[in-house]
Structure 1
Amino acid sequence: MKLSLFLKRGLLAAGLLTTGVAMASDKALFEAVRNGQLHQVQQLIAQGVPLDGKSLDGSTALLMATRSNQVDIAQALIDAGADVNRKNLMQDSPYLLAGASGYNDILKLTLAHAADLKSTNRYGGTALIPACERGHEATVDLLIAAGVELDHVNRLGWTCLLEAILLSDGGPAHQRIVSRLIAAGADLNLPDRAGVSPLRHAEQRGQQAIVKLLRDAGAS
């Protein structure tokens, strides 16, 4: 019994030691990313540091690098096997955040490394929805080409087309995004939860250029 207790204590101590080492290595990696130290990140990767350890808010080192658009560091982490779909407590992942932020270099890396096109953010939206809302034209092109669902409806009851109208001023960038969605085959008549169509919303907001685009494409 004494031997068993001794072994248990030894295993517990070993476990705590392993956990402590892992936490220390996570902290070193987070610090290197925060300071933009690519060489240090590469050294830690070579030493076998865990790539998907999480900070207090659930962010991984890759998500931290994405947040500050550190392309070289993000590439080093992704090439080493960091998970592009790992979410933090706010339901952001490197892929989703890159898409929403218009960080196209990192977005391309995530798309090339098994980004989950069906994953959604805290609003239940795909990466394409905030990209359309925020006027990230090149990002919209990348996500459409990747095959993100055009008519996905988020928890607010809005599609990417609706957000390009409802949350914009209808300016040139959003006009071009609406044109892209039309060309890609988005459902132009899919309404919000109140039954109001994209065309009607554009009319209500005086977005005449978008109204014309939708009407010319057969929206009702």
Structure 2
Amino acid sequence: MSEQKPGESTRMSDDEALEFAEQVFDLARQGNAELLDKLLEKGLNPDLRNHKGDTLLMLASYHGQQETVQVLLKHHADPEIRNDNGQSPIAGAAFKGDLEVVRLLVEGGASVEGASLDGRTALMMAAMFNRTAIVDYLIGQGADPRATDAKGVTPMAAALAMGAAETAEQLRQLVSA
């Protein structure tokens, strides 16, 4: 590394900045909450987005990094930012089946519906993949079991289409009650 001469800029090159950003996104994916917390305390934007529109919170949520999700929410990461595909962090956590991350997101201000741009809700994602505990939790928090996406599909219909018998029955009992 060469010495800096007076008057020279200490700014990162574009390549260095991109490499740093990728490392930060890896911290979220891999769950390095301690280092991410330090970077956020130094002014890192908690809503930093990658080339797919994924925020740090989206990546941490999708990869089940509970402690990292807590750190990001503590630093006011917005749980409502959708990625370029219109997906929310809560829908990603419901898809992956991580009830604790779903809870953390709701406690951190995420909409319990977590609907994507096409109207698919977190409840639909949980129902499709037979995530019975998440279905119970989301409904207990006010998720609408009768909601429909842009194609008119309900959580129960989504579960049936995916062969998720347990959540289909769970939702059938709720809707008919």
Q: Normalising by structure 1, report the TM-score.
A: 0.66
Q: Is 1:129–1:163's contact at 8 Å kept on the other side of the alignment?
A: yes
Q: 1:45 aligns with which of 40, 44, 49?
A: 40
Find the aligned partners of 2:94 and 2:164 in 1 and give their Cα distance. 21
Which residue of 1 is the match for residue 159 of structure 2?
164
Q: Percent identity?
A: 23
Cα pair distance change 1:155/1:27, threshold 3 Å: same
Q: 1:139 aligns with which of 129, 134, 137?
A: 134
Larger Rg belongs to: 1
Q: Which moved more, 1:149-158 or 1:20-29?
A: 20-29
Which residue of 1 is the match for residue 58 of structure 2?
63
Counterpart amino acid of 1:136? R
Deviations 1:5-58 (A, max 9, x none): xxxxxxxxxxxx7xx798787445213224432221121122121000110000
Q: Which runs of 5+ in 2 are unaligned?
A: 1-10
Find the aligned partners of 1:181 and 1:147 in 2 and give their Cα distance. 17
Cα pair distance change 1:65/1:145, threshold 3 Å: same
Q: 1:178 aligns with which of 160, 164, 169?
A: 169
- Note the aligned Cα RMSD (angstroms): 2.7
Tell me the CA shift for residue 111 of structure 1. Answer: 0.7
Counterpart amino acid of 2:69? A
Report 1:24-43 matches (<5 A): 26-43=21-38
Structure 1 residue 111 and structure 2 residue 106: aligned? yes
**Which structure features the higher share of helix residues?**
1
Find the aligned partners of 1:35 and 1:167 in 2 and give their Cα distance. 30
Q: Is 1:36–1:73's contact at 8 Å kept on the other side of the alignment?
A: yes
Q: Is 1:63–1:94's contact at 8 Å kept on the other side of the alignment?
A: yes
Q: Which runs of 5+ in 1 are unaligned?
A: 1-16, 189-216
Counterpart amino acid of 2:137? L
Tell me the CA shift for residue 100 of structure 1. Answer: 2.5
Tell me the CA shift for residue 123 of structure 1. Answer: 3.8
Q: Is 2:31–2:67's contact at 8 Å kept on the other side of the alignment?
A: no
Find the aligned partners of 1:61 and 1:160 in 2 and give their Cα distance. 28
Q: Normalising by structure 2, report the TM-score.
A: 0.81
Deviations 1:124-152 (A, max 9, x none): 21111121111000000110011011111
